[in-house]
Amino acid sequence: MKQKIHPKYYEDCKIVCACGNSFEIGSTRQEINIEICSKCHPIYTGKEKVLDKAGRVERFKKMLKAKKTKK
Give residue limits of the domains in the chain: 1-46
Share of the chain above pLDDT 70, in %: 89
Q: Is 13 annotated as a binding residue?
A: no
Q: What is the pLDDT of residue 52?
A: 62
Q: What is the pLDDT of residue 26?
A: 96
For domain 1-46, give the CATH number: 4.10.80.400
> What pTM value is reported for the model?
0.56
Q: Minimal CA–CA distance to 27: which of 35, 15, 16? A: 15
Backbone Cα Rg of the chain: 23
Q: What is the pLDDT of residue 60?
A: 87
Q: What is the pLDDT of residue 54?
A: 66
Q: What is the pLDDT of residue 69?
A: 82
CA distance 16 to 9: 18
Ranges of the chain with pLDDT below 50: none
Cα-based angle 34, 40, 42 (whole degrees, multiple of 5) = 120
